Structures are given as structure tokens and as C-alpha cells.
Amino acid sequence: MTGKPVLYSYFRSSCSWRVRIALALKGIDYEIVPINLIKDGGQQFSEEFQTLNPMKQVPILKIDGITIGQSLAIMEYLEETRPTPRLLPQDPKKKAIVRMISDLIASGIQPIQNLSVLKQVGQENQMPWAQRAITSGFNALEQILQSTAGKYCVGDEVSMADVCLVPQVANAERFKVDLSPYPTISHINKALLALEAFQVSHPCRQPDTPAELRA
């Protein structure tokens, strides 16, 4: 037992990537236990994992003697217990905007194009379904960012909103969403990908990244 936090993660899960980014931004050393969402019918359905997370989803973080699911709840806990560098602005109004953008992505877009939902719409419908969810959300997000963005989603400091944005853009690319209607999203995404925390946590650099996708 090293006492390090343990993250149950899938390389390509956008929700897992959010937590990996947050941990990297805060300089928190951790262990990864890869959970393959496809192999063996989905390792998240094993009895062992279900006990850890009844939602049968990644990410899960074991830290300070507790087990937390839900990426935003995990990040809020990290913010409270390891407050620097900040992921949330100090000003309550700016903080509300950061949370609103994070929720827009984490509740408004991602769950609808999540693997478990896609499985239900039928193979031939998956791409248009996912594209529709992402397009719908990005139409709103692009508009919001036009008034909130500086260098990043909200002003000039990296926040939880940025942590949610990059993995969602990666999902958009994976589902071949045309990003040209979203110049603000694209511009911010590019700036964030240049930062180390977004690189070390990238799906192409994880212990469970398949050889053909590895950076």
C-alpha cells in the first residue's frame, strides 16, 4: 500500500481524462487501474468493480480513505483538499460560470453520447446520434464562450470548464463532428492541448492505450 490515490480509468473515457487532467494540473501523484469498457463484455460489469462503483462506470478515485465516483464530484473534492493551483475562480459569479460550462458538458452532452446509451440506439444510428448530441451542446457552448472566454473558457485561468472541454472536443473528433462552426471552442482547445497536464493525461499516453493508438 503506497497510500497514493488510485484512479480507475479507461484510456479513451472522456470522463476519466477529466480527472487525469485535474490530477496532473494539481501535481498529484497517483496510480491507475485500467478498466477496459469493451473487453470481456466490459470490465466495468465485473462483480468486483460493481462493488466499488454501483454505477458500473469510470472514473472512480480512491483517495484519503474514501471512494468517489462522478468526475465533477471528484474534481470538487480535489479542489477543496488540494486547493492549489485553483481549478475554480475565487469570485462566486465566475465560479458559477465555470460550473455551468462544466455541467453543460458533463450533463448536457457527454451522458447522451456515452457508450451505454449508444449501445441502445443500434449500430447504424450511433454516429448520427452522437453527432447530434455534441452539435446541439456545442452550438450552445460556442455562444456562451463568446462572452466568457479569455485565453481559456472563463477568463485567462485554466478552470474545471477547460478540463471538461478538451475531452469533449476529442469525442467530437472521434464522432467526426465538423468543428468549423465552433471557432472559440477550437481555439481554446488548441491552447489547452499545449499545456503539459493535458498532454501527460492524454488517451494516447495511458498504460492501457493500445499499441496502434499510442503516441
Partner 1 sequence: MKQVPILKIDGITIGQSLAIMEYLEETRPTPRLLPQDPKKKAIVRMISDLIASGIQPIQNLSVLKQVGQENQMPWAQRAITSGFNALEQILQSTAGKYCVGDEVSMADVCLVPQVANAERFKVDLSPYPTISHINKALLALEAFQVSHPCRQPDTPAELRA
47-86 residues in contact with partner 1 (CB under 8 A) are: 53-57, 64-66, 68-70, 72-74, 76-77, 80-81
Q: Is 31 in the site for partner 1 (CB under 8 A)?
A: no
List Cβ neighbours of 54 (8 Å cut-off, separation of 6 or more): none
Residue from the set 137, 169, 188, 203 that interacts with partner 1 by CB under 8 A? 137
Q: Which CB, 72 or 185, lies closer to partner 1?
A: 72
Which residues in 115-137 are b (16+ Cβ under 10 Å) and which e? eeebeeeeeeebeebbbebbbeb
Which of 3, 29, 84, 120 forms a contact with partner 1 (CB under 8 A)? 120
Among 28, 127, 140, 191, binds partner 1 (CB under 8 A): 140
Residue 102 sits at φ, ψ, to 5 deg, of: -60, -45
Give the HSE-up count for residue 194: Cα atoms under 13 Å, Cβ half-sphere. 7
Q: Contacting partner 1 (CB under 8 A), which of 102, 168, 171, 206?
A: 102
According to CB under 8 A, which one of 37, 87, 97, 165 is a site residue for partner 1?
97
Q: Do the Cβ atoms of 17 and 167 come closer than 8 Å?
A: yes
Under rule CB under 8 A, which residues in 144-203 are in contact with partner 1? Answer: none
| Interface residues toward partner 1, by CB under 8 A | 53-57, 64-66, 68-70, 72-74, 76-77, 80-81, 92-93, 95-97, 99-100, 102-104, 106-108, 110-112, 116-117, 120-121, 129, 132, 136-137, 140
